[in-house]
Amino acid sequence: MFTLNKMMSRPICNTISAAGYNYEYNSVYNSSDYSSDYSSDYSSDYSSDYNSDYNSDYSIYGNTCSNITRRFGSQVLALLVMYCTLAVSHHSQAAPVLNLPEQEKPSLSNIRYEIFDDRAYEVLNTSAPLHTLASGFQWAEGPVWSSAGQYLLFSDIPAGKVFQFHPDQGLNEYLPVSGFSNGLVINTSDSEAEQLILLQSRSRQVAIMQASLDKPKGNYQRVVSQFNGKRLNSPNDGVLSHDGSLLFTDPPYGLAQQLNDPEKELAFQGVYRLSKQHELSLIDDSLRYPNGIALAASVPSSDNTYTLYVAASNPQKPAWYQYTLNTDWQVIQRQVFHQLPPVKDEGRGLPDGLKVLPSGDVLATGPDGLWLFDHSGKLLAKVHLPSIAANLAFNDDYSTVFVTAHQYLYSLDLVKQPQ
């Protein structure tokens, strides 16, 4: 199936010009394209924001479009594509579900705790089962908890949607058109009302939803899409500080050919700070595949510094990095927080999303599931999950962690943290 969308950014596949508009053909992302073991194709899928490979059907489709354009003109082609899109719309992939089969009910059989230090018991409740809250997503990512609404929002990147999970009301489609968002951030610094910030990976921009969170609409204000006159790669994950600064990563995952994509304009993959006044500055341009990002605290410490963590999803050098920044957001020091050996079986996952607990401990997604570190980077525990984990978010009192994991949304009960 192909869908027809008026483009907000460069196409990720073939495009045609018709009646003054560009239209984009996106292939449906079947669950087989994102198998839980990711097999040998995981690297290319992961590095292109989990796009399925362009297959022979796609080439035939593109050739057919070209022939129609030559013979009848682009306007006829546009009308034909619109008709075909409506005709096949009823055959789209099944919606995510909450009514799960019995084997997906809360269970200790599909989770394994590996404890390396007893301090892990201050965070992990090793008798807690894994809850599968919903399934059927194409690639779930970017979870964020709404304190005002007491619900979770998260992206399904290939589907171009944002979903809402409410512990009492279940799953709802929140935004049917998300601009292919990845990371989601909720801003409460400007007013009492929460504001949704979307890192729109394939649209290659950071945007703000022009609506309240309780009445969502797919209207977005672009905040930034360029650095020094060149387009961003594909904004990925972000975190807010107390002064309204958004710190975010910009790997190439939203580009069809990643680092070698002809539309890539920047020579690096940056970690940035976007000020409250929408001024963009570069924090680091040296990482390969910067991904998840988190602050130890949204306010500076007693020595007037911030501690920033960034995951690097580089299979040859997978690691988490720790930055010390001054109050002008300049780097005082960067060091490896925790280094992994090269990951040969990328189907196990790579360093990705991460969050910091009130204790200063860091919970991160990585190979095989969740990794728990203390503030110095010492590994305290691993939580082995049945599906590759991409990102995570806590509820208000840190008693629950929600994990976006490929086709699944999981939750895990934790030891309630002192505030």
Do 198 and 178 form a contact (C-beta atoms < 8 A)? yes
Pairing of strands 230-231, 226-227: antiparallel
pLDDT in the model for residue 203: 95
Place of tokens 């050739």: 63
Do 252 and 50 form a contact (C-beta atoms < 8 A)? no
- Model confidence pLDDT, tens digit, residues 201-237: 999 999 999 999 999 999 999 999 999 999 999 999 9
Q: Mean pLDDT lowest for which of 17-31, 46-60, 100-114, 224-238?
A: 17-31
Task: Give the model's confidence band at 375: pLDDT under 50 very low, under 70 low, under 90 confident, else very high.
Answer: very high
> Mean of the pLDDT values across residues 391-408?
97
Question: Which one, of 349, 416, 343, lies nearest residue 382 by Cα?
Answer: 349
State phi, psi for 89 to the nearest 5 degrees: -60, -25
- Model confidence pLDDT, tens digit, residues 102-112: 445 666 678 99
- Model confidence pLDDT, tens digit, residues 349-361: 999 999 999 999 9
SS3 297: coil
How far apart CA 327 and CA 299 sit, in angstroms, is 9
> Mean of the pLDDT values across residues 247-274?
95
How buried is residue 275: exposed, middle or buried, by Cβ count under 10 Å (0-12/13-18/19+)?
Answer: middle
Question: Quick check: pTM over 0.75?
Answer: yes
- Model confidence pLDDT, tens digit, residues 289-321: 999 999 998 888 888 999 999 999 999 999 999
Place of tokens 């008026």: 6
> Mean of the pLDDT values across residues 319-343?
96
Q: Which residue has the higher pLDDT, 100 or 191?
A: 191
pLDDT in the model for residue 324: 97
